[in-house]
Amino acid sequence: MSGTHIRMNRATREWVIYAPSRRIRPQDFQSKQTEVAPEANQMASCPFCKPAGEFKETILLEIPNSDGGWQTRVVANKFPALSPELKPKRSLTGIYLELPGYGHHEVVIENPDHLQNPAKMSIEEVSAIIETYRQRYLELITVRDNLFIIIFRNHGKRAGASLQHPHSQIIATPIVPRHYRWREDEAQRYFDEWGRCAYCDTMEFEIEDRQRVVGENEQFLAFIPYAAEVPFEIWIMPKEHRADFGTITPTEVVAFARLLREVLATLYTRLQNPDYNYAIMSAARYKIGEPQLHWYCQIHPRLTTPAGFEMGSGININPSLPEADAAFFNGLDEVDL
């Protein structure tokens, strides 16, 4: 199979998506130094700065702004990793399991301004982004073959962003990643043993302990996990137990947007606009009503580079203590540990 498709590793049961259409030529993998194009040139060639007329056939959702224009816009990815035109029928190639690359791959254009940044947007602008996520998530989760939906943002080249214009992405897949099933299984084991949600217990302890809390409002808590994988990893979690991001209410949309914007703004000022990834971790399809699962937003700044030990062992080496990171984030340059 030479087109977009998905293969399973027989030994680990982990899935890999193959999207040859996203690679232009083998030389694209070569390391090379390039000069940064002037901002005017970037804006002139930016596909997300196009007038609405050029997006007529691919605009999936548009939220208007107060001036009669658009605030956010969702389009089909021009170079998708997965395609809704395919059928997710599994088959064997020898001993190996594979299926066509079915799925949805969408781009959320977060703002009409090419030079904007969520860390500097208004609460209303960030709320429009979260509302866009909510609407597209609810649409995609109704599609029978979509078993897993991930909403994510890549900020900066080290995080995988190829365009400066503020944008994030949504991908729906017909398979659930093995590492995500593992998280679900661990949450199930905890619930079976204690009768409680492990995420709720974690959040309650962090609220009381306060050492790693970096932001809070009535509906959400932001904290650096006790076992953070990377420096300044941050989770934003709803205080009310919810497994499914799609259940977020209009009031919670604004509250989530307010805290997300606050966290990103502090990262921007305290760490000089670092590259980062964030992802909204919601329950897989058919698990959205489970009492042991809890959705949250995970932010990973790209401040360190994983090396051979991390690859070989699966264990991260974090050179920075979460408590020290939280203190620095909160404006304390030194902390007694």
Q: Which CATH architecture has domain 179-329?
A: 2-Layer Sandwich (3.30)
> In degrees to the nearest 10, what's the CA dihedral of 268, 274, 276, 280?
-10
Instruction: With CA atoms as reference, report the closest residue to 103 among 57, 152, 150, 171.
Output: 171
> What pLDDT is attached to residue 335?
53
> What pLDDT is attached to residue 51?
74
Longest C-alpha distance within the chain, in Å? 59
pLDDT confidence tier of residue 294, bands split at 50, 70 and 90: very high
Q: How far apart are CA 201 and CA 195, in angstroms?
A: 11
121: which 2 tokens?
């947007």
Q: Is the dihedral of CA 249, 252, 253, 256 positive or negative?
A: negative
| In the predicted structure, residue 67 carries a pLDDT above the cut 50 | yes
Q: How far apart are CA 332 and CA 212, in angstroms?
A: 12
The span from the first CA to the last CA of the chain, in angstroms, equals: 55
pLDDT confidence tier of residue 45, bands split at 50, 70 and 90: confident
The amino acid that residue 308 corresponds to is: G
Q: How far apart are CA 274 and CA 37, in angstroms?
A: 20
Helical spans, DSSP H, in the chain: 39-45, 123-141, 178-194, 198-209, 250-270, 308-313, 322-329
Q: Where are the domains of the chain?
A: 5-23+42-178, 179-329
83: which 2 tokens?
């395609």
**Catalytic (active site) residue 167:** yes
Q: How far apart are CA 219 and CA 242, in angstroms?
A: 12
Q: Kindly report the number of other CB atoms within 10 A of residue 214's CB atom.
A: 23
> What pLDDT is attached to residue 68?
86
pLDDT confidence tier of residue 29, bands split at 50, 70 and 90: very low
1-14 tens-digit pLDDT: 568 999 999 988 89
Q: Go through 27-60 and write b for each residue having 16 or more CB atoms within 10 A of its CB, e for each that does not.
A: eeeeeeeeeeeeeeebbeeeebeeeeeebeeeeb
Span 192-216, average pLDDT? 97
From the candidates 167, 241, 294, 300, which is the catalytic residue? 167
Query: The whole model's pTM is what?
Result: 0.92
Which secondary structure element, helix H or strand E, spans residue 64, and what is its range?
strand 59-64
| In the predicted structure, residue 193 carries a pLDDT above the cut 50 | yes
48: which 2 tokens?
């997300």
| In the predicted structure, residue 53 carries a pLDDT above the cut 70 | no
Range ranked top by mean pLDDT from 14-23, 203-212, 306-315: 203-212
Q: Kindly report the number of other CB atoms within 10 A of residue 269's CB atom.
A: 10
Q: Counting Cβ atoms within 10 Å, is residue 21 exposed (0-12), middle (13-18) or buried (19+)?
A: middle
Q: How far apart are CA 232 and CA 152, in angstroms?
A: 18
The full DSSP string for 23-39 is ---GGGGS----PPPPH
CATH number for the region 5-23+42-178 comes to 3.30.428.10
